[in-house]
Structures are given as structure tokens and as C-alpha cells.
């Protein structure tokens, strides 16, 4: 079978895995080799023969093969890529994995009562327009042992604070771990969405002198000067004059979200929006139930708001908390760009679920699910990295991302569209075209490139098989 570039690149992300037996390392290499060519394929399809399939399932169920040990080589490479970039955005978020078709009773429960678990991930992203994903910096899974009991009442802040071993501790755990791992190696800016809007977390970030940009979820009490009466963040920030105005494209939002999320982020059509940007520095008031935290926190607030929104449309409005300077227009716009790069982690989770079809697998037991996840996360990163190659190294040789046979097949299929020594950009444009990309839609995304590769790789494998058959003696062919 042809060794495609996807397999080679994926395999390097697992080199150095510290498994307790050399045979386990060999089995991991075989699994990654198979999955790299088609990460969405089922395990039986990946492995081919019955004996290989059974060996794969034994490996996944082996208690000596741990989630951390399988993933650690990829994390080490992510740290090296982050170090080379000098500044890295540590983007944090949590995603749910719904595994209703799975077997076994060791899975947890989601908010809806469905079987599954939560993944809290931190990825490294470049602080550039290319939004290059460096990979996973830390990953933590959370299994709830029983369905959440919906009582119709939201717990108060004091009730939440009184709970020991709270799930929200994962946010600071990840920040602290990333800071320790990358200390002295590169500058780190932590980026998170509304779920990270916690006074206790903000206090720890500021106390540890961490740089961050996070979106406000709840309208807190705030004031600018210590002798002023307390107001709300939205009221205080709305007084500041805007220093910039831009027209930007807004992506469409679907209505297939959980009710709680749908209320906060209602469905909308794609459109261009005229946005204004302003900033001010405020003091946040400590909630009364957090007596151990500082009475006030000083932080910059950036307001992004839409003017002249279409009729019957909810205008865009963000409030961002940040330690970054907001003194100039360029600094203000840079903060907004940092937050917008948070979207890479949404793409990453989609690559895990769609590009690698993780939720569609049929596995027995929590351990097997976690082992497959540890293999899947670097493969999902690989799907995003394919798109980044066209942005960051467009003039490099096409063989940087494709095998020589794959490039040869592209030349045969599109003899007039490739130069004698095709570049990465030339080749990936044709791969995207094979995946259904329309040129007028802009640069191709990872999903359309993945679809194109899914068509290209079997053709390359067929060419390699034909060559091997031609080189075999006639007697062997007859057998």
C-alpha cells in the first residue's frame, strides 16, 4: 500500500511514545500508519485483515497503554513548535462527545442525559493572520458518573463555591500547566470564551501575571475610580468612545445547539457587519461569596459592538477582559484579532468529530475510548495543519505534504494545471478541487482538503499496487 504523506506526518507525532513494551510501541505505530491515511475509517476497514483487527482491539483495551503516554510525544512536539513561534496563543475550551451507539457501562453522562464525556483541551495557535495550529498542549477528560439532575433552578454562586473538586478547576489547572511547561521558552497569551469568565480564575491569572484575553459572560459590578458608585461593566464600557470602525464578515450560526447555548448565541444568517471598537480600564467588584479573593480586580475591557444591524437581527456585542495594552487603535484591534483566533479550537473539535469520525466508532469500555482519543487528537491536528501548509509554505515543494506518487497522480489528472516542479500551493489547490472546493469561495478549508485527499490517496495506492504487480514474476501472478 502506498505510504501517503498523511501517514508519515502522523507517525512522527507519536515517535518516542513511552509504552512499557516494545511490541506495544510497534502496535501503536501500525495503528497510526493505518489511521493516518484515512482517519475517518472504521477500525476494521483501517486494519484490513481479521488478525490485524483483533490485535488493534487488544491494544486499545490494554490497561498498560495510557491516554497520557500515547499523547505525550505530540505534546512535546507542540511545545517545540510553540517555542519556535516566540509567541503562542494558548486557546482553552471544552467539548462534549456523545457516544450513544457505544457499548459498555463505563461511559459518563452529558448535560442532556446522553452517554458520553467532556474533553477540556488547550491548543497552541500562532498569533498571526495565518492562525497556524501547533497542536495539543494539554488535554483532560471528564466523566460524570450520573446524569445531571435538572431541577429548573440555577445554583447560586455561594452554592457553586461550596462544592469541592469543582469541574471549573480544570481551567486554572490547564493555565498553570501550560505556564510551567513553556516558561522561558516563549510568550504565552491565554484565550478563552465565556465559560472561562470566573472571578476566581481572573484573580489567579492576574495574580500569576499571566497574559490573557477572555470573553465576558456575566455583566459584573464595576467602576473606573475608587470613589465612584458601582455600576455594570456594560454601562461603564459603553461610555468609552470608539477608536476604530470596520466592516467584517460574520459567519452563519445554526439552530442545532443545546437550548442554553442557543439562547446566548441564537441562529443567524451570514452577513457583513459594521463593528466599532472601544476600550477602558475598570475595577471589577468581588462577588460576596468569594471572601478569599481580592476585593477588586483591575483589568482592561474591550467592547466590540455592531451599528446599523439589519432589522429583527440581534446586533453583535462582545466584552473582552484582557491584560493586553489598549492604548492605541492598533493594540485594540490586535486584541480583537487574538480573540477571533480562538475559533481555531472550534475547527479542531470539528476535525476530531467530523474529519476523524470519533463519535461514530464502536468500542467497548472507557479505556478503549480514551486510547483512541489519544491517537485521534494528533490526527485531527494533522487535518488542520494541511490547510496551514498552503498559507505558511506556499512555495515549498509539493512533496512536503504529498507523496511523490500522489503528486504524479495529480499531474496525470490535471496535466495543464501543475508546473514541472509543483509547489505546495499548486498541489493543494488541486486537492481542494477534488474535494469539491469552488475557487470563488476563497481559500480552501481543512474539510474540503480532507475530502480531496480521501479521493487522491486510493488512486495513489492503486498506482503503487499496479507497479508491484508488474514487477512480480509471472508465476507469482498466476498463483
Q: What angle do CA 356, 428, 374 make, to 5 degrees?
A: 25
For the cut 50, the answer to whether the pLDDT of residue 239 exceeds it is yes
C-alpha distances in angstroms, 244 versus 26, 163, 237, 277, 417? 56, 43, 15, 5, 42
Residue 235's Cβ-count burial label (10 Å; 0-12, 13-18, 19+) is exposed
User: Which three three-digit cell numbers place residue 92?
Assistant: 482553552
pLDDT tens figures, 275-295: 999 999 999 999 998 989 999
Q: What is the pLDDT of residue 474?
A: 62
Provide the pLDDT confidence category of residue 83 given band limits of 50, 70 and 90.
very high
Classify each residue of 14-39 as buried b or exposed e, where b means 16 or more C-beta atoms within 10 Å of its C-beta. beebebeeeebbebbebbbbbbbbbb
DSSP code, position 122: E
Residues 6+ apart with CB under 8 A from 45: 38
Cα gap 49→93, rounded to integer Å: 38
Q: What is the pLDDT of residue 265?
A: 65
Cα gap 262→242, rounded to integer Å: 29
CA dihedral angle for residue 408, residue 389, residue 378, residue 180, rounded to 10 degrees: 150
**pLDDT over 70 percentage in the chain:** 89
For the cut 70, the answer to whether the pLDDT of residue 356 exceeds it is yes
C-alpha distances in angstroms, 10 versus 14, 66, 109, 304, 340? 7, 19, 31, 39, 28
pLDDT tens figures, 376-421: 999 999 888 888 887 788 888 888 888 888 889 898 888 778 888 8
Q: What is the pLDDT of residue 257?
A: 59
Domain ranges of the chain: 393-469
- Topology of the domain covering 393-469: Transferase Inhibitor Protein From Tn5; Chain A, domain2 (1.10.740)
Collapse the DSSP code of 158 into the 3-class scheme (helix H, G, I; strand E, B; otherwise coil) and give the result: helix
Length of the chain: 479
- C-beta separation of 440 from 456 below 8 A: no
Provide the pLDDT confidence category of residue 255 given band limits of 50, 70 and 90.
low
Cα gap 353→51, rounded to integer Å: 27
Cα gap 453→334, rounded to integer Å: 35
Cα gap 460→407, rounded to integer Å: 9
User: Which three three-digit cell numbers place residue 32?
Assistant: 497510526
Cα gap 404→396, rounded to integer Å: 14
Collapse the DSSP code of 35 into the 3-class scheme (helix H, G, I; strand E, B; otherwise coil) and give the result: helix
Residues 6+ apart with CB under 8 A from 293: 199, 200, 203, 286
Q: What is the pLDDT of residue 159?
A: 47
Provide the pLDDT confidence category of residue 341 given band limits of 50, 70 and 90.
very high
For the cut 90, the answer to whether the pLDDT of residue 371 exceeds it is yes
Q: What is the pLDDT of residue 394?
A: 85
Amino acid at each position: 500500500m502506498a505510504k501517503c504523506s498523511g501517514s508519515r506526518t502522523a507517525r512522527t507525532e507519536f515517535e518516542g511514545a513511552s509504552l512499557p513494551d516494545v511490541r506495544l510501541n510497534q502496535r501503536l505505530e501500525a495503528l497510526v500508519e493505518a489511521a493516518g491515511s484515512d482517519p475517518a475509517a472504521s477500525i476494521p476497514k483501517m486494519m484490513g485483515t481479521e488478525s490485524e483487527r483483533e490485535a488493534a482491539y487488544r491494544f486499545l483495551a490494554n490497561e498498560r497503554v495510557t491516554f497520557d503516554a500515547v499523547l505525550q510525544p505530540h505534546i512535546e512536539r507542540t511545545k517545540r513548535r510553540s517555542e519556535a513561534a516566540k509567541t503562542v496563543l494558548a486557546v482553552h475550551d471544552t467539548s462534549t462527545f456523545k457516544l450513544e451507539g457505544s457499548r459498555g457501562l463505563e461511559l459518563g453522562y452529558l448535560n442532556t442525559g446522553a452517554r458520553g464525556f467532556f474533553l477540556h483541551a488547550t491548543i497552541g495557535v500562532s498569533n498571526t493572520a495565518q492562525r497556524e495550529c501547533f497542536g495539543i498542549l494539554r488535554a483532560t477528560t471528564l466523566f460524570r458518573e450520573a446524569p445531571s439532575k435538572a431541577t429548573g433552578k440555577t445554583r447560586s454562586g455561594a452554592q457553586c463555591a461550596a462544592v469541592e473538586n469543582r469541574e471549573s478547576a480544570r481551567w486554572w489547572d490547564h493555565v498553570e500547566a501550560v505556564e510551567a511547561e513553556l516558561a522561558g521558552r516563549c510568550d504565552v497569551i491565554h484565550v478563552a470564551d465565556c465559560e472561562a469568565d470566573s472571578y476566581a480564575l481572573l484573580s489567579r491569572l492576574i495574580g500569576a501575571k499571566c497574559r490573557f484575553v477572555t470573553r465576558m459572560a456575566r455583566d459584573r459590578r464595576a467602576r473606573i475610580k475608587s470613589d465612584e458608585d458601582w455600576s455594570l461593566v456594560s454601562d461603564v464600557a459603553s461610555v468609552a468612545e470608539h477608536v476604530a470602525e470596520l466592516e467584517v464578515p460574520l459567519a452563519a450560526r445554526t439552530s442545532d445547539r443545546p437550548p442554553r447555548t442557543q439562547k446566548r448565541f441564537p441562529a443567524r444568517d451570514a452577513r457583513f457587519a459594521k463593528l466599532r471598537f472601544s476600550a477602558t480600564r475598570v475595577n471589577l467588584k468581588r462577588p460576596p461569596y468569594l471572601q478569599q479573593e481580592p476585593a477588586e480586580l483591575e483589568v482592561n475591557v474591550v467592547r466590540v459592538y455592531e451599528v446599523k444591524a439589519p432589522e429583527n437581527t440581534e446586533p453583535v456585542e462582545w466584552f473582552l477582559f484582557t491584560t493586553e495594552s489598549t492604548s492605541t487603535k492598533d493594540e485594540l484591534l490586535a486584541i480583537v484579532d487574538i480573540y477571533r483566533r480562538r475559533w481555531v479550537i472550534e475547527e479542531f473539535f470539528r476535525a476530531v468529530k467530523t474529519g476523524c469520525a470519533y463519535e461514530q466508532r464502536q468500542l467497548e469500555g472507557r479505556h478503549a475510548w480514551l486510547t483512541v482519543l489519544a491517537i485521534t487528537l494528533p490526527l485531527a491536528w494533522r487535518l488542520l495543519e494541511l490547510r496551514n501548509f498552503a498559507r505558511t509554505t506556499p512555495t515549498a515543494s509539493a512533496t512536503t505534504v504529498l507523496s511523490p506518487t500522489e503528486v504524479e497522480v495529480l499531474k496525470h489528472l490535471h496535466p495543464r494545471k501543475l508546473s514541472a516542479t509543483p509547489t505546495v500551493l499548486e498541489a493543494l489547490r488541486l486537492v481542494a478541487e477534488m474535494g469539491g472546493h469552488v475557487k470563488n469561495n476563497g481559500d480552501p478549508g481543512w474539510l474540503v482538503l480532507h475530502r480531496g485527499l480521501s479521493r487522491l490517496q486510493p488512486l495513489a495506492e492503486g498506482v503503487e499496487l499496479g507497479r508491484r504487480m508488474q514487477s512480480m514474476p509471472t508465476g507469482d501472478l498466476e498463483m
